[in-house]
Structure 1
């Protein structure tokens, strides 16, 4: 019964593992056999194993060779059996590597690491986000989910591609959303704004149901759906139409203002906008004093965020409070 269970277990192993075990067993068996047949030529079992390896691999160094008829017959058997098994093993390894690479580029390979960021939707915004973050944070890993591109669209970046609809639980699980740290959902540029927002919120609900703690950032195109996104569990909402209209209005009021803003954004390659918690020494000091202190560290204080609605203050005499967050431009 035990032998039968072992055999059944053996045939359930992956083909590559079965071939490896078979080849290893064959090499050890013939190595021990040659030690038994020709003890003067093969002084140790290791000598026999070494000979079996180089013989079955068709290398044949010739440093140890059988001298008796029995030894030569054993060598013939090893060549017939061992060469075939090793060839099959290396062919299986190559096929498995090729299949894995095909699955990776086609978006079928499951992602197994944790602490990553999941990006939903492939468009120019997603491309810029991935390239910019990959340039400035080499430790961060990304999973891109999209159903429209035929294969991996960004092979030169640390991005794992999953092909499929992000509102599908199976696709999100393949992206390992349960272990993700961030989720960014971009709006589908191929759909009407209201329809794109609807898909974004449905995807957000699906992701939050699988990982309620993931920090979700969503792109919303219509103002009336902002609150719906927050109700669905969004931690942060980006209104791209609002940002674009702000730039357009600025240019209409002051021609060239939007171009200057765009140029400034492109030149932030060495720096980034971020929120910092004030330290104990900064609490109680006026905004202007803290701004001067941070400038010495090559950090520019742009404003102080306070209140539940994220109100921003730049009053120079306003003291920094413990509940404030510093909005800075930092290296």
Structure 2
């Protein structure tokens, strides 16, 4: 039985072991001084109080042993207690520093929920994280990257995890089961096809661990869009296609940069797809537009099934399952 208790004690964390030893020392010396000098220390509590104050080198002086044996006990307590207490606080400080370093280096698992997971560190994810954390209602972001050695963003709303996105252990650390969304960015350090293969592999890993989480994937080559959808992507962003749209618009414009200005406005506002309420069903598109304009939002079009219609006919009737594309 004693051997089992000793083994159980050794399995405790070092900080807990030192604390238990310190409490035992204070208890033993506090009880001892009470029996050695009962007049000076009327109760066991007074003895324990004196032992704690003396062992921690605070020394209030409210209780002082007068006998030779009592002073000898105090001397041993000072020597023993100072070592134990300093070891305890030293270990506590070391543990705090170690945990802080592990957190910065991406070795600590995330425990929250309702967060956004961003996989891959690049200029796009940097700007996105900056906008999310600086908004009026910032949301927690978990950044996963294998190339970084420490968290690149100094914000309490960003938790960094170091590792490969297609490894189960790394994804599990992000608490994927209770995440709101996942954004997989393309690694432009590789060739485009290899970058898309890595993104799709990461997507398969995530969907294998949690199929219900919404995944947005950046794909560079048009040929791999269908494979990303087959792998379970809820939304595919073709960044190269978006870039080509900007270039074509710039070539055919008079240098006014209207598309760039429009996208800049999107950065400050949000385009969302809202379900139609009962009052809007059966009304014309222009009637719904007027209603939302009074509320300070602009209806740009509708999404009907798989079809997205921008600026539809004003006489188009809104149906039950339509989604309104609203710019706020």
Q: State if a TM-score over 0.5 links the two structures.
A: yes
Q: CA deviation at 1:147?
A: 1.5
Change (3 A) 1:285 1:69: farther
Counterpart among 272, 275, 278 of residue 274 in structure 1:
272
Distance 2:156 2:262 in 1: 25
Change (3 A) 1:50 1:300: farther
Change (3 A) 1:285 1:219: same
Pairing 1:84–2:74 present: no
Distance 2:277 2:32 in 1: 74
Q: CA deviation at 1:309?
A: 4.2
Check whether the contact 1:216–1:234 (CA below 8 A) recurs between aligned residues: yes
Distance 1:181 1:269 in 2: 21
Pairing 1:283–2:281 present: yes
Distance 1:70 1:208 in 2: 72
SS at match of 2:61: coil
Pairing 1:17–2:16 present: yes
Q: How many residues align?
A: 328
RMSD across aligned positions (CA): 2.1
- Unaligned regions of 5+ residues in structure 2, if any? none
Distance 1:38 1:89 in 2: 29
Change (3 A) 1:318 1:7: same
Pairing 1:238–2:237 present: yes
TM-score (norm 2): 0.92
Distance 2:126 2:310 in 1: 30
Check whether the contact 2:143–2:159 (CA below 8 A) recurs between aligned residues: yes
Distance 1:52 1:311 in 2: 80
Other-structure match for 1:196? 195
Other-structure match for 1:50? 49
Check whether the contact 1:179–1:211 (CA below 8 A) recurs between aligned residues: no
Other-structure match for 2:186? 187
Check whether the contact 1:306–1:312 (CA below 8 A) recurs between aligned residues: no
Check whether the contact 1:193–1:222 (CA below 8 A) recurs between aligned residues: yes
Change (3 A) 1:276 1:95: same
Change (3 A) 1:229 1:251: same
Other-structure match for 1:326? 324
- Alignment map for 1:27-176 (pairs within 5 Å): 27-136=26-135, 138=137, 140-156=139-155, 158-176=157-175
Show CA shifts across 1:154-181 (max 9, x none).
1235211122221122222233334333
Check whether the contact 1:305–1:313 (CA below 8 A) recurs between aligned residues: no
Distance 1:132 1:229 in 2: 27
Check whether the contact 1:220–1:237 (CA below 8 A) recurs between aligned residues: yes
Other-structure match for 2:226? 227
Other-structure match for 1:299? 297
Show CA shifts across 1:221-250 (max 9, x none).
111111100000101101111111111111
Distance 2:99 2:108 in 1: 7
Distance 1:139 1:35 in 2: 58
- Unaligned regions of 5+ residues in structure 1, if any? none
* Range that drifts further, 276-285 or 35-44: 35-44
Distance 1:247 1:269 in 2: 16
